[in-house]
A and B are shown apart, each in its own frame.
Chain A
Amino acid sequence: MSAPRWRLAPGLIFGRAALAIYLVIMVLWLTFPVVLVLLASFQGTLEVSWPAPVSFDAYKTIPPSYWEAFWFTIRAALLATGIALLVAIPAAWAMVRGRLAGRRVMSNLVLIPDVVPQLILGIALLTVFIPLRLSNSFAGVMLALVALSLSTGLRFTEALLEGLPDEYEQAAQSLGADKLTAFRLVVLPLIAPGVAIAALFIFMQNLITFELLFFISGPSATPIAIRLFSDIIDRGIVPYAVAMAGILVYVAIAFYTLVAVSLGPKYMAGSVMSRKG
């Protein structure tokens, strides 16, 4: 009835081998940037050779302007994440529980900064920020990040609240709590873990945003991605820039570890965030 197994074997072995080769090539291909950047950052030169003596020269020579840009980005990203979540959580709650007319329209409006290409939004912001003296300033960069984080934050928190049954709040209200108390004592603790993860994602997104900030940043407000970018244009690739790129790799690895430890690696599949451009 069934074909004998051994007759399939050569084809099967060939298929298996092809699959294994494909898998190895893909994994190598996917890991090469991280591996190369880290290798180069520990050699102090731009030529990657192996084996090579480990040297921390590149890290030691990172100029202050790079660290300034790094901490500038961290500050702006943190503040933007905080503001965006403070605004997004009540809005999401009102949109999900309030059954307001035109809810879809409102939540789609808030998603605009995420849907419009970042390059275009950046140009639009430049035209507004120049007369307001917000371009080339911390406030301008932060405002742009707030708009972006708000979109992501609303999408996250709306999904969190939609997954939360209405009954918990109703139970609290039937025991005499008003809506706000029910929100504070029941809803907020229940969504807090999800919000923490959302905050982490939004923070990372802010950290790596480039196209949105390129036009509105300047000499006195330079995110780290733009610092690395403009240096490569001005003077080509330099060892300390590679070291800074290495530091960004560490940050990304730390982020992954945090999320994977708290959620399990499964969660990262198809997850909400991806770099735009």
Chain B
Amino acid sequence: MTDMIDTHSSGRSAPDVQDHGRRVSRRRLRREKLFYRLLTLPALTIVGLVAIVPLLLLLVGSLREQRSGLFTLDNYVNTLSNGFFMRTLATTIVMAGGVTAISILMALPLAYLLARRTLLRNIVMPIITVPRMLPFVVIGYAMILLLAPMTGVANKVLMGLGILQQPAFILFDWPGQAIAFAYNGIVVATAVLTGVLMSVDPQLEDAAVSMGASKVRAFFAVTVPLATPGIIAASALIFTSVVTAYAIPVMLNGRVPYMVSLLISANLLTLQQQNLAYAQAIIVSVLALGVTTIGQVVLSRYGQRGGDK
């Protein structure tokens, strides 16, 4: 950096002049750095005050006993040894895993078609984008309009056709929740995977086909491996969104809470066991962040950043 200044003052080789120039440039550089630091300050302050400090306080709160305020691991021990919580957590994970797998499997062929057929993409893209810009609650309303036992469209149609003798009560139970989550998952997966598959060169498949592979085989042997980073990114996104969802599990809740977020909010709001709820919230976020991190690690193993979030 300072070399440039040296060439400026090369006419006089007096060392003090060089020194002076160096000092001035160093000061300017420092002032510039300070200026840049100041520009990042508001953003860092806001995030610090509105996210980092609250999250740290949540962590501290989870380590305290509610009555005495003493530091203890009891909240975690109690949570992890509570059979009901652990069963619900297991159900949540199974639900999230199942929904993720189904969403990816259902969305992958559609995303492939959208990536390769421009006309189809232009028609279907609004169909995918509009639901993504709706609150999940609105999707819940639609689920009720579709599947409600007496008034739902699906039940009325199926009973009208004589396929069902009596209405199916699947909405306010785990199938209803799974269907709502899968709807969201398919929408997200289609959007992400379309973007990823568009960046896979179609000539690679053509090459595979020209060497004798069938189109289906070329898809699974060439395209899918190249799209794997995107599949992983989409999976992590869908999994975490199911694990931490709140609106749908409450709206479509059955007699037994299936989702862990319900237990946390019950502890927080109605049972007045805040510190226990904090510990459970930390456990759930470790789970969610863990899945995201594993996804990132696998992605970096692949050595490329495919599939933006």
Chain A positions near chain B (C-beta within 8 angstroms): 19, 22-23, 26-27, 29-34, 36-37, 40, 46-48, 87-88, 90-91, 93-95, 97-98, 100, 106, 109-110, 112-113, 115-121, 123-128, 143-144, 146-147, 150-151, 154, 179, 204, 207-208, 210-211, 214-215, 224-225, 228-229, 232-233, 237, 241-242, 245, 248-249, 251-253, 255-256, 260, 265-266, 268-277
Contacts and interface: CB of A to CB of B under 8 A. Distances in A.
8 contacts: A22-B109, A33-B143, A113-B51, A146-B50, A228-B141, A241-B141, A248-B138, A253-B130
Contacts of B129: 252, 256, 268, 271
A119 B134 contact: no
Given A37-B141, A93-B39, A144-B50, A270 B130 contact: no
A252 B134 contact: yes
B247 A210 contact: yes
B40 A95 contact: yes
Contacts of B243: 117
A23 B110 contact: yes
B50 A123 contact: no
B113 to A, nearest CB: 7
A136 to B, nearest CB: 13
Contacts of B126: 253, 256, 260, 265
A51 to B, nearest CB: 14
Interface of B: 32-33, 35-37, 39-40, 42-44, 46-48, 50-55, 57-58, 61, 106, 109-110, 113-115, 118, 120-122, 124-146, 148, 151, 153, 156, 183-184, 186-188, 190-196, 198, 230, 237, 240-248, 250-251, 261, 264-265, 268-269, 274, 277-278, 281-282, 284-285, 288-289, 292, 307-309
A148 to B, nearest CB: 9
Contact of B277 (A26, A46, A47, A123): A123
B241 A275 contact: yes
Contacts of A118: 244
5 interchain residue pairs of minimum CB distance: A270-B195, A98-B36, A33-B142, A225-B135, A124-B54
Contacts of A272: 308-309
A26 B230 CA distance: 20
A32 B153 CA distance: 11
A19 to B, nearest CB: 8
Given A33-B141, A271-B191, 5 more contacts: A91-B44, A94-B36, A125-B54, A127-B278, A275-B184
Given A33-B183, A91-B43, A252-B130, A128 B53 contact: yes
Contacts of A87: 42-43, 46
B288 A117 contact: yes
A249 B124 CA distance: 17
B135 A154 contact: no
A123 B281 contact: yes
Contact of A147 (B47, B121, B191): B47
B251 A32 contact: no
Nearest to B36: A98
A252 B133 contact: yes
Nearest to B199: A270
Contacts of A232: 137, 140-141, 144, 251
B278 A36 contact: no
Given A27-B127, A33-B142, A277 B133 contact: no
Contacts of A27: 124, 127
B141 A112 contact: no
B43 A245 contact: no
B131 A33 contact: yes
A269 B51 contact: no
